[in-house]
Amino acid sequence: MPRITVGLGGILILLGIIAYAATSFASVTALIPAFLGLVLLVSGLIGFKNAKIGIHIALVVALLGAIGTSMNVMQLGALFAGDAERPAAVIVSTVTFVLLIVYIVVGVRSFIRARRWKNTEA
């Protein structure tokens, strides 16, 4: 899980930087995926030393990030209709949201597997 966390952090940092550049450096909010990615990257690095703490932090950050980006995801209909106020924000938020949700699912499944393995071993 720490490797996946570090990888996702790197992807989100890259996504945030690309979004910021693509919007002509107009708004710092385009860097939100990069900020989330940085926290996930650090959490993943912590996870190499102490997986339980690092990955729990990463999953909480991912959940908060998914909740935070969901309001822009709700504007996908307006994007497809051509009425979105900030189409780039909707697209970047949707990509971020999907990546975070997939990460949360993988992380929870990993914890469930670890718990089952620990219980069968005891």
Q: How do residues 11-63 score in pLDDT, each as one tens digit?
A: 999 999 999 999 888 888 889 999 999 999 999 999 999 988 999 999 999 99
10 pLDDT tier (thresholds 50, 70, 90): very high
* Structure confidence at residue 13 (pLDDT): 97
Tell me how many domains the chain contains. 1
State pLDDT tens for residues 66-110: 999 999 889 888 888 888 888 888 899 999 999 999 999 999 998
Q: Where are the alpha helices (DSSP H) in the chain?
A: 2-22, 32-49, 51-73, 76-81, 87-121
The pTM for the full model equals 0.87
Specify whether the CB–CB gap between 45 and 29 falls below 8 A: no
Distance CA 11, CA 15 (A): 6
CA-only gyration radius of the chain, Å:
16
Domain that holds residue 40: 2-121
Residue 9: per-residue pLDDT: 96
